[in-house]
Amino acid sequence: MNHRTLTLGSVALLSLVSACGSSSHAPYAGMAYASPSGGSARPAEISMATSESEYRGPAASVTSAPEAAARADLDGVSDRFGGVAPVAAAPMSPPPTGASTSTPVANGGEMAPMDSRVTITTTTTVTAVPTPMQVAPVVMQQNNMAGRLTAASVGDHDRRDAYLEYLGRHSGERSMLRLNLTRRVRFRVVDGQGQAVNNAVIALRAQGASVDGRTHADGIWDFFPGLYGEQVGGQMSVQITSPAGATQASVSVPFSGDGQEVTVRMNGAAPSAPRALDLAFTIDVTGSMGDELAYVHHEIAHIVERVRASVPNTNVRVAATFYRDRSDPVVVQQIPFTSNIAGFASMMGGVQASGGGDYPEDMNTGLDAAFNRLQWSDDNSVRVMVLIADAPPQHYGDAQFTYRHAMQMAGARGIRLLPVAASGADRSVEYLFRAMGAVTSTPYTYLTDESGVGHAHMEADTDRVAVERFNDLLTRLIVSDLRGQGMHELIRE
């Protein structure tokens, strides 16, 4: 059930990537982002309360070396496995018990006094997505592998009704993965001038339930009660903390269907738009990924270059986690966060696809390492994890950290999960990846056949999709997020 719009014109356009490797990336004229549409909503009950409190930030479970000690030129990373350090075999810390996977953090470690003048409203409307942005073109350097991959995206967080219909068609995957996303409450935090507030901490509490979230640069955090337990709902207290203000209130979370959008307007001014980006890649590097992995490696430096050109003075750090399966000699390898993009790209290129064997892979261990061993920033920055895989997670009975914990932690720490399905992915991969995208307000992305690279790619179960170059797509989404416009699918006007 899909309709494809080829924005590349035809497959023949890919031949424009010549042997000398030059290609242009024209602005997205004639294109628009998907217009958000909400699902059914029930009235939300809001009551104001004021108090004072103090937060203490969580100590992330990090075992990779600090950037200052080893990131200047990446010399501190072992080259025993293609220049990428293998993760130690020591067991990783299990997630805390209960519904929450993190403790809320306030900038500076202390919450500002509550302000009774803060306005909290509910509405069923969603602000229209801004007009298409201009992304700076970058000429490819002597490399005919960059800019070759093609991809499409599905914005389930914008087209809520269509996503609910999709969930209804895939009850089998929902049961197998135990992910119920049929309930949603959207929180939007703005400052006194109506500007989106990034990194606002939202703490929801009720009898037996504790859930933490953070807004992204567009001021939005989507709360999916079913991700934390079917019993989570009813009247919940909410505490919101940001540099623009702080407040407490209560909100009614329905046990069936979506709640109304909750808009919180702070009196203070929010910090300026983020000028820092943490961009991490978590990649399945088992044997079946070999057909597309080399092309992915060649995209990274160009994408970062284009981001910097489009949003000047942005401090970009990149990191990578590569995972296989438990039967392989090395299950996880990592490159810690670094600003040395050229060195990072070189080390990434040394990772070879190998191992695996059966279809599912140990994605959960890869996600554990990416969330708990990388040193993510905790300030006014944009945080994005790009997950690229062609197989679902292996279900090991003793796994202490799973994709569910990863989705909860992403919400608590304001990390966008941007999933990318490669050739060979099945419907269970699509369901999981679309859930990850919905929870962190990113579009589900999948590589397509137009590039001629890799084996056959599965079409998304959706009514429309537009194809673009993967390099363009990822650059567009990141730049849009840095500009406070969120991440959205591309559609033809």
What is residue 206's three-state secondary structure? strand
DSSP string, 223-290: E-GGGT-TT--EEEEEEEEETTEEEEEEEEE-SSSEEPEEEEE-SSPPPPPP-EEEEEEEEE-SGGGH
- Block residue for tokens 């050109």: 309
**How many of the other CB atoms lie within 10 Å of CB of 452?**
11
* 3's tokens: 């309709």
Q: What is the tens place of the pLDDT at every residue in 86-96? A: 764 434 444 44
- The number of angstroms, rounded, from the C-alpha of 459 to the middle of its chain's C-alpha atoms is 21
Structure confidence at residue 187 (pLDDT) = 98
Structure confidence at residue 1 (pLDDT) = 61
What's the mean pLDDT in 340-362?
Answer: 86
Q: Which domains does the chain have, with CATH numbers?
A: 4-37+131-163+273-492 (3.40.50.410), 41-56+101-128+181-265 (2.60.40.10)
What's the mean pLDDT in 224-228?
Answer: 97
**How far is 272 from 240, CA to CA, in rounded Å?**
19
**Dihedral angle at the C-alpha atoms of 410, 414, 420, 421, nearest 10 degrees?**
20
Give the lowest-confidence range in 191-205, 209-223, 340-354, 375-389: 340-354
Query: For residue 69, which phi and psi values (nearest 5 degrees)?
Result: -85, -25
User: pLDDT band for position 256 (50/70/90)?
Assistant: very high
Supply the Cα-derived Rg of the chain in whole angstroms: 21
Cβ contact 283:320 at 8 Å: yes
Structure confidence at residue 289 (pLDDT) = 87
Amino acid at 181: L
Cβ contact 467:4 at 8 Å: yes
Give the lowest-confidence range in 57-66, 242-251, 449-458: 57-66
Cβ contact 341:72 at 8 Å: no
Give yes or no for residue 72 having a pLDDT over 80: no
Cβ contact 237:209 at 8 Å: no
**Dihedral angle at the C-alpha atoms of 127, 132, 137, 140, nearest 10 degrees?**
80
Give yes or no for residue 146 having a pLDDT over 90: no
Give yes or no for residue 260 having a pLDDT over 70: yes
Cβ contact 245:118 at 8 Å: yes
**How far is 448 from 152, CA to CA, in rounded Å?**
7
Q: What is the tens place of the pLDDT at every residue in 386-407? A: 999 999 999 899 999 999 999 9
**How far is 372 from 287, CA to CA, in rounded Å?**
26
Cβ contact 349:319 at 8 Å: no
Q: What is the tens place of the pLDDT at every residue in 35-51? A: 344 444 433 333 222 22
**Dihedral angle at the C-alpha atoms of 428, 429, 430, 431, nearest 10 degrees?**
50
Q: What is the tens place of the pLDDT at every residue in 158-169? A: 999 999 999 999
The number of residues in the chain equals: 493
User: pLDDT band for position 453 (50/70/90)?
Assistant: confident
Give yes or no for residue 81 having a pLDDT over 60: no
Give yes or no for residue 118 having a pLDDT over 70: no
Nearest to 353 by CA among 294, 424, 282: 294
**How many of the other CB atoms lie within 10 Å of CB of 80?**
11
What's the mean per-residue pLDDT of the chain? Answer: 78
